[in-house]
Structure 1
Amino acid sequence: MADSPKYKRVMLKVSGEALMGSREYGLDPETVQQIAGDVRDVSRMGVEVCLVVGGGNIFRGLAGAAAGMERSTADYMGMLATVINALALQNALEKLDVDTRVLSAIPMATVAEPYIRRRAVRHMEKGRVVIFGAGTGNPFFTTDTAAALRASEMNCDILLKGTKVDGVYDADPVSVPDAKRYDCLTYMQVLTQDLGVMDHSAISLARENSIPIAVFSIYQQGAFADVLRGNGRYTIVQHDCA
């Protein structure tokens, strides 16, 4: 079938900033609901879905460190912010009758299950959406790296990064109207040209485990499902573009 998904198990990375919508900080309920709707639609296609969500809409560790806060403390605060976002997404998904579990790398049994790899895999095998909170559970690692790590641990077929734009460009498409969008890039191109798709640790981890990365616009309704069918506008990062 032409419209059938090309991937069985996928990881979606959503930045905290994406959840802000047009706000300056915090959560935009309409944006959260739209993202939840897209995840529901993909789950109903028979795809096993897990997510890593950032916390930059609430607190960003690097910004805190730059302002004089001790880096580890700032990063832990950022990890706690990701759990807030994970719970918000879980709530939105369950309102759409999607069975969802939040697994936290920092134990907090009252609000989330502890992260156990085999448990997470079993949830996805049962058709549940799994949201990973608290990053890797360690300071000095970004949620991009957490997404690549969890995608590797879950044996995901692809890692998708939902952003504000529909792919990777050679310049900021907002300020440079004729910026070129790449259809395909290799991992090495992203690393050597420092294109900022994800941080270098995340790209290297995806490369080592041969997990392609697709960058698309999370704000375009239905784009998540389109990418998994091989349609729509996005940039794919993989070993070879030939």
Structure 2
Amino acid sequence: MPNFSLAGKRALVTGASRGIGQAMAIALAEAGADVICASSSEQGCNNTVEQIRALGTVNVAQVNADLSDMQAVEAMAEQALTLWGGIDILVNNGGTIYREPAVSFPLDAWQKVLTVNLDAAFLLSQKIGKAMIDQGGGKIINTASMLSYSGGITVPAYTASKHAIAGLTKALANEWGASNVQVNAIAPGYIRTDNTQALQDDEKRSTEICARIPAGRWGETEDLKGAVVFLASPASQYINGHVLAVDGGFLAR
């Protein structure tokens, strides 16, 4: 369907080296977008770039920045904007997590998680969102979480950051909707990635999680592809400030 085509669009995806970000970057390319893949290390997205290049239908490039370094984040935004003359789709997916009980949670770990997960997303949205307003429109998609809705266990900083991402999504949608910039978020359910490896390895917790999911299984990164293409495409033009749960029905229980 032409509504879902991303042909001619330019996308930037952070955290695109593996997992959910890699799947999202490939999905956008499969839908016709030229994609800039971002990671924390130089050449960190080589595998993703190779997979997109193998499609033979779109342009692909990569940039890098430490998302805890705001000067590096700003420089990456400027580099991405100049690469192909603008950005039509920004996916703020890059993030980190730290697990420890709240009573002993280190302050420096708290600050790093909030900086990487929230501050970097805001700064990228601010820099690229301004350019989107100037060019007449764009799409920003943030990666939220099931912990945008609940508290989790031993991940207070991550939970705070993902609640904040949901709020930031709505705040930016309110300000930029009239400028034809739609800001939405995807809240992945329990997806098999390295970020959730500790939960996958905990047989008791993994069994409890699957028992609550109507689909009866952990999600795969492929399960996020349709959602990101939808929110990046003209098909979602009247959707703004929404957090879309892709969770196998987890929240329904």
Fold equivalence (TM over 0.5): no
Please indicate the TM-score interval, normalised by the length of the shorter structure.
0.3 to 0.5
Normalising by structure 1, what TM-score? 0.43
Query: As a proportion of its length, which structure holds more helix?
Result: 2
| Bigger RCO of structures 1 and 2 (CA < 8 A, at least 6 apart) | 1
